[in-house]
Amino acid sequence: MNLPEIQTDDAFRKREFPVCRDKVYLAHAGVSPVPACVTQAIKETAEKAALNDQEEGLAELLRTTRKRAAQLLGADTSEVALIGPTTAGLSAVAAGLDWQEGDEILVYRDCFPVNVYPWQALESRGVKVRWLQTPALGQITPELVAENLTDQTRLVALASCHFVSGWRIDHDAIGRVLRERGVLFCLDAIQTLGAFPTTVKYVDFLAADAHKWLLGPCAAGIFYVRRELQDRLVPSAFGWNNVRCPNYIAQEEMHLRSDARRYEAGSFNILGIAGMNAALGLLLEVGIESIAADLKVKRAWLVRALQEKGYEVFYPEAIETGGITSCWLEGGDMPALGEKLARENIVASVRADRSGRDYLRFSPHFYNTPKELEKVVSLL
């Protein structure tokens, strides 16, 4: 499967992405519909589970999924745990490090709450949360991060792309700065993984659920922990799967698995992982670089078209953006506009900032077509 095939053969597109049959779906930054291959993988796995032990064939499923996830991240399979949602991974980092009173964490308060609350909760343990102040919503640069580091900064927790403004951070450049300073870097990658290259050369921890740009099921996810840090990050849960127990007999001493599987404490979300595995295979087949290039073209077109109709758009000239295009109109009713689109079977999102301003957010994926975007803009 490739992009030209998807975007020029409408029958093929509607077969592989059933949502296209009666909707224009432009809300992949929220919760995505799953492709046919994901539905089929879940169906086949569920049917096999009705005839045998549910875990029959699980070892091969885990091996394949871990390998695909590692390929997407540019990581080793020993650094990948198959746990979701994103909340679980970020909370595992917050809970598992040996924090000392006076340690500081650098966080952006206007990030999605899942990447705020786990760190804010550490204040009860004497950890100080320092809040990044940005010139505009989500606009986090390597320079801004560097300026806000102190001798007490132990970890920086950021999102790879802001969920409203669409600003995409240069996580490699930020990671290099932090690595040089000996500061840990935790990345919430749910808004870029599956849409833009999101590799972990300079990342220490990463979490992402499958239900957005990865086109997978909810609560199936990827949790990355750099190999050199696995002995420092203590698991927040202990069970039969991550602690040695031969013949399922608890031992006097606890010995954890030697790799990222130490964060997989219990039974697996088998149906979710089966669906995520199929989604990962699809994305790798189409190619993340090709997907990213396509989304950049779509965003550039949307920005121009929206501006021509009088809408304001976040970062119209910036290249540091993801697949999100959020717009607003002075005096306009964005929720009402979203409802109008919904009546035409067009799915977009309405999001707000801290001041209460509403935005209409478009987040197309690679299977959306130019004709669909033109239809949407014509209704605004």
All structural domains of the chain, each given as residue ranges with its CATH number in brackets, are 3-26+288-378 (3.90.1150.10), 41-285 (3.40.640.10)
Residues 325-345 have a mean pLDDT of 97
Confidence of residue 108 (pLDDT cuts 50, 70, 90): very high
CA distance linking residue 293 with residue 288, whole number of Å: 9
237 to 243, 255, 278: CA distances (angstroms): 10, 13, 28
Q: What is the pLDDT of residues 220-276, one digit of tens each?
A: 999 999 999 999 999 999 999 999 999 999 999 999 999 999 999 999 999 999 999
Furthest-apart CA pair in the chain: how many Å? Answer: 70
Q: pLDDT at position 125, please?
A: 94
Average pLDDT over residues 68-80: 98
Position 319 confidence tier, pLDDT thresholds 50, 70, 90: confident
Buried b (16+ CB within 10 A) or exposed e, 307-342: eeeebebbbeeeeebbbbbbbbbeebebeebbeebe
Rounded Cα distance, 50 and 116, in Å:
41
Q: Per-residue pLDDT tens for 25-55? A: 999 999 999 999 999 999 999 999 999 999 9
Per residue in 163-211, pLDDT tens?
Answer: 999 999 999 999 999 999 999 999 999 999 999 999 999 999 999 999 9
Q: Is the pLDDT of residue 283 over 90?
A: yes
Q: Residue 132: which pLDDT band, with cuts at 50, 70 and 90?
A: very high
pTM for this one?
A: 0.96
- 318 pLDDT more than 90: no
First to last CA, the chain: 33
Is 1 a residue whose pLDDT tops 90? no
For residue 132, the tally of other CB atoms under 10 A from its CB is 18
**Token couple for 309:** 């109709």
What pLDDT, on a 0 to 100 scale, did the predictor assign at position 320? 85
Q: Taking residues 103-114, report their average pLDDT.
A: 97
Across 301-325, average pLDDT: 95
